[in-house]
Chains A and B, each alone.
Chain A
Amino acid sequence: MMSTPTLTKDPNTLAAPAPSPATKRRGIKPRSWAPNTGAARFRSGARRAGRGIWGSGAIILFLLLWELGPIYLAPASTRVFLPPLHVVLQALARLVENGQLQNHLAASLTRSASGFGIAVVAAVALGLLVAWYRSLDQFLNPLLEVFRNTAALALLPVFTLLLGIGEISKISIVAYAAFFPVLLNTIAGVRTVDPLLIRAARSLGLSNFQLFQKVILPSAVPTIFTGIRMAGTSSILVLIAAEMVGAKAGLGYLIVNSQMSFLIPDMYAGILTVSLLGLLVNYLLVAVERHFSRWRTAVGSQAA
């Protein structure tokens, strides 16, 4: 369904205008080449269309398999646990209609946004400090290494024990998971500032603070946003898991609760929502990251 525009657009636009004006205007002599260019254009257009089909082919095949597999391939007993796509979409529509999906989505979004927001602010601040003060780095680094290499989900029971199963516990684990990518990227971003730029700024008489504000921070921004994008992905991941363990609302809860209530299509509707949400969040964060990294294109060639 996503592929239809690319599929239909390309062959039409290339086939219609390309050969007619080009061939006519060329007149008699270069006849041999006019069809050639037309053909070439057709070929390149066809190639592009082909790439479009090929690029969405796997998805289409997967959806087809999901739709047809349970009906024609699977035994009836399995069909109950793996309903075809249209049944899941119907369940999704029903959940949207009675407002349940929106409620769960809102609960999840609130939690992940709060945790993510807290993490970004805290990690950027700490990262800047750690990168700026070498002694702080030497002091904190071993501990940070330990925490960073401890999977957030491994600590889920600890968060639950200490903070209960309420909102605070979930926001905390999201914040924890989102914290480290941002922290490490902030540190790396500050560390990798071109020393020549620092010399240039110093030669212009900038104070330490101005140097930080006008050179180090702007040059670290793209790297920081890479960390933020990674954090966005992992905050959703961890939240869903946390909601599966103990919650009264949220997409993770919807999935697990539907499973336990034997509302299998609802369960798949929840999963589908999670993956669409993940795609959307990633797409947005990639766009933001690209926006802040515009000047980086071809920075490497700057030295030449």
Chain B
Amino acid sequence: MTSGTGPPPKISLENITKKFTVRPTKENPEGSVLTALDGISLDMSAGEFITLVGPSGSGKTTLLDLLAGLTKPDTGRVLVDGREVTGPGRDRAVVFQQYALFPWRTAAANVSFGLEGTGSDGKRYSRKERAEKAREYLDLVGLGGFEDRYPHELSGGMKQRVAIARSLAYEPDVLLMDEPFAALDAQTREQLQTELLRIWATTGKTIIFITHGIDEAVYLGQRVAVLSSRPGRLKQIVDIDVGDRSGDEDVRSNAAFVEHRHKVWSLLHDEVRRAQEAGHAKIQPDGSAPDEARNVSTGKAA
């Protein structure tokens, strides 16, 4: 979308389409084909923070899976650094809503998980280097001293911090985050949002952040991409300029923020209505939705 003269894009989605075959059910004995994503094109430059909002079922997770290399598009290409993505790699990391920590590993062992063995880039870390990295990144997410805790000994917010540290530890350029804060309480969520911005500022990662919280999308993103309800199409990209978010003032109540928020809300509102008409009764009027199918959230969504 942002075609032009600037540097080559870090990530480039070229006319992506993704379809799923729906298994035959009683009502629909034939089975059918469901188009989850339809003709998505998007360029992101290095170091950009983009948030992706869309009604439940609009294909946000599907898009993230494509970027992560966990699935392949039916048509179109996903390019990272100009090379087509053919599978997962250490240049990209995923943070999941449900943390996905390995419960039999301590926080430090979880963080160093991605450093074990030889990576796709041929890099190998010794045990000592791994332990050092784990400590370094746990420090970065504010969990210094929690190296030996097991996941079940940590709160939800701490678990997500560990998951973020795990993703950062093998130094990917791109961070893919799928509603990472949706299961957290409001206070912890705000805290982690601020921390994420700080980490982004210090590490310069390219971040794609999926959310169904409009506030979250506007607060975090330099741009907010709005997906239409199924089939997911890129409805609009909203450039966000709410001033300095690292300061102490309450950005969420300044005029620019409110204006942007309203813009995204209006865009999403139409889509949510359409999605509801298409049978997604669970979606709330504010665009949030206890996610169906794969993400079983606790219903505490924004």
Are B94 and A203 neighbours in the complex by a CB distance under 8 Å?
yes
Residues of A within 8 A of B264 (CB): none
| Contact pick for B113, options A194, A196, A199, A214, CB 8 Å | A214
Are A200 and B89 neighbours in the complex by a CB distance under 8 Å?
no
How long is the Cα–Cα vector from A299 to B102 in the complex, in angstroms?
Answer: 10
How long is the Cα–Cα vector from A218 to B90 in the complex, in angstroms?
Answer: 23
| Contact pick for B70, options A199, A221, A297, A303, CB 8 Å | A199
Residues of A within 8 A of B116 (CB): 214
> Is A106 in the interface zone, CB < 8 Å from B?
no
Residues of A within 8 A of B159 (CB): 302
In terms of DSSP, what is the predominant structure of the interface of chain A? Answer: helix
Are B296 and A303 neighbours in the complex by a CB distance under 8 Å?
yes
Are A199 and B119 neighbours in the complex by a CB distance under 8 Å?
no
Are A204 and B113 neighbours in the complex by a CB distance under 8 Å?
yes
> Is B191 in the interface zone, CB < 8 Å from A?
no
Are A204 and B70 neighbours in the complex by a CB distance under 8 Å?
no
> Is B181 in the interface zone, CB < 8 Å from A?
no
> Is B58 in the interface zone, CB < 8 Å from A?
no
> Is A296 in the interface zone, CB < 8 Å from B?
yes
How long is the Cα–Cα vector from A79 to B83 in the complex, in angstroms?
Answer: 89
In terms of DSSP, what is the predominant structure of the interface of chain B? Answer: loop
Residues of B within 8 A of A205 (CB): 87-90, 114, 119-120
Residues of A within 8 A of B117 (CB): 210
Tell me the chain B residues, 261-302 only, with Cβ under 8 Å from chain A: 296, 298
> Is A146 in the interface zone, CB < 8 Å from B?
no
Are B96 and A200 neighbours in the complex by a CB distance under 8 Å?
yes
> Is B209 in the interface zone, CB < 8 Å from A?
no
B176 to chain A, nearest CB (A): 8
Are B100 and A199 neighbours in the complex by a CB distance under 8 Å?
yes
How long is the Cα–Cα vector from A294 to B170 in the complex, in angstroms?
Answer: 28
> Is A133 in the interface zone, CB < 8 Å from B?
no
Mark interface residues in A187-229 (1 if CB within 8 Å of B CB, else 0). 0000000101101111111000010001100110100000000
How long is the Cα–Cα vector from A304 to B98 in the complex, in angstroms?
Answer: 8
Given contacts A200-B100, A205-B119, are A302 and B151 in contact (CB under 8 A)?
A: yes
B155 to chain A, nearest CB (A): 10
Q: Which residue of A lies closest to B155 (CB)?
A: A304
Are A215 and B102 neighbours in the complex by a CB distance under 8 Å?
yes
With a 10 A CB-CB cut-off, give which of A196, A205, A296, A303 has the most chain B CB atoms.
A205
Interface magnitude class on chain B: 20 to 34
Residues of B within 8 A of A299 (CB): 103, 152
A140 to chain B, nearest CB (A): 26
How long is the Cα–Cα vector from A200 to B99 in the complex, in angstroms?
Answer: 9
Are A196 and B96 neighbours in the complex by a CB distance under 8 Å?
yes
> Is B257 in the interface zone, CB < 8 Å from A?
no
How long is the Cα–Cα vector from A196 to B97 in the complex, in angstroms?
Answer: 10
How long is the Cα–Cα vector from A156 to B101 in the complex, in angstroms?
Answer: 47
Residues of A within 8 A of B114 (CB): 204-205
How long is the Cα–Cα vector from A301 to B103 in the complex, in angstroms?
Answer: 11
A300 to chain B, nearest CB (A): 9
A189 to chain B, nearest CB (A): 13
| Contact pick for B298, options A197, A210, A304, CB 8 Å | A304
Are B88 and A204 neighbours in the complex by a CB distance under 8 Å?
yes
Mark interface residues in B114-153 (1 if CB within 8 Å of A CB, else 0). 1011011000000000000000000000000000001110
Are B119 and A302 neighbours in the complex by a CB distance under 8 Å?
no
How long is the Cα–Cα vector from A303 to B295 in the complex, in angstroms?
Answer: 10
> Is A154 in the interface zone, CB < 8 Å from B?
no
Pairs across A and B, CB under 8 Å, 22 listed: A196-B96, A196-B100, A199-B100, A200-B96, A201-B113, A204-B90, A204-B93, A205-B89, A214-B113, A215-B102, A218-B102, A218-B104, A219-B102, A219-B104, A295-B104, A295-B105, A295-B150, A295-B151, A299-B103, A299-B152, A304-B183, A304-B298
- 8 additional A-B pairs beyond A199-B94, A302-B159, A303-B98, beta carbons within 8 Å, are A200-B96, A201-B113, A204-B113, A218-B104, A296-B103, A302-B99, A304-B183, A304-B298
> Could you tell me which A residues sit within 8 Å of B by CB distance?
194, 196-197, 199-205, 210, 214-215, 218-219, 221, 294-299, 301-304
Give the top 4 A-B pairs by smallest Cβ distance, nearest first.
A200-B100, A203-B94, A298-B152, A295-B104
